[in-house]
Amino acid sequence: MNAPLCVALLIDADNVSADVIEQAVQLTKAEYGSIHVRRAYCNVETALKQHGLFKRLSVRPMVNISAGKNSTDIAMAVDAMDLVIAERPDVVVLVSSDSDFAPLVIRLREKGCRVCGIGQQGKTGDDTVAIYDSFVDLLHHQVPKKAVPAKRTRRAKVAPPPAPSVPDLPDEVVRILDAVVELATGNKVELNLAAERLRAAKLLGKSASSPKLFKKHPELFLLTPEKTPNKVQYVGPMRS
């Protein structure tokens, strides 16, 4: 029996959307069975916005605090080389539509890795597809298919599934989520912080109770602990 391949999945999270990241993880697991290294490279804003997604997918965020053009790309390239030298993975999957990674792909291949690419359709050029051993372009909100080697086809087409049915949220709930952005990640938020944000957005009076506001939508907000709540969590459908 052949030993399982060691697979590293490196995601340029500033370059592709959240649903493409999720599809990329699913596709890579389906292709290779397991993913030994899962890392997403991004700035601080993206790390906060996608915190819930990274946690759910067991992806380790590699936050780049440096400013400037391509700083995240450079951080990802440096880490990829260190990873390949130290861990020697059999397969490296790069999730990005950026053609700037061409030198990295070539160098990883010289180190003995099979280098596969996953991009976001509409952002990937033909010159980017050609440098990988295989490449898959993914659409927003699509079900991924198995990767196809680049020598057989330049693009792996993905058939669109029926659009998911997501109930419309009440206007008040939308305004609450816009005011307290941390709630949209599905994490618990201190009521004091939530109240401060709601008052700033003029959704809550100076002396009004924030739990009372959240209790108006019990199917969407969970207050904990039950008797004397000090935290609130959004448990409704996630917005795209």
- Model confidence pLDDT, tens digit, residues 118-136: 999 888 888 788 899 999 9
What pLDDT score does 110 carry?
94
Query: Is there a cis peptide before residue 211, judged by omega within 30 degrees of 0?
Result: no
pLDDT on residue 166: 47
- β-pair partners for 160: none
pLDDT given for residue 238 in this prediction: 72
Q: Residue 68 in contact with residue 39, Cβ under 8 Å?
A: no
Distance in angstroms (rounded) separating the CA atoms of residues 132 and 109: 9
- pLDDT value of residue 31: 92
Predicted TM-score (pTM) of the model is 0.58
Q: What is the pLDDT of residue 117?
A: 95
- Give domain limits for the chain: 7-138, 171-234
Tell me how far apart the alpha carbons of residues 236 and 127 are, in angstroms, rounded to a whole number. 42
Under CATH, to which class is 7-138 assigned? alpha beta
Measure Cα distances from 10 to 25, 78, 107, 140 in Å: 10, 12, 15, 19
What pLDDT, on the 0 to 100 scale, is given for residue 155?
A: 52
Residues of the chain with pLDDT under 50: 143-144, 150-153, 163-166
pLDDT the model gives residue 128:
81
| Residue-wise DSSP of 72-124 | HHHHHHHHHHHHHHHH--SEEEEE---GGGHHHHHHHHHTT-EEEEEEETTT-
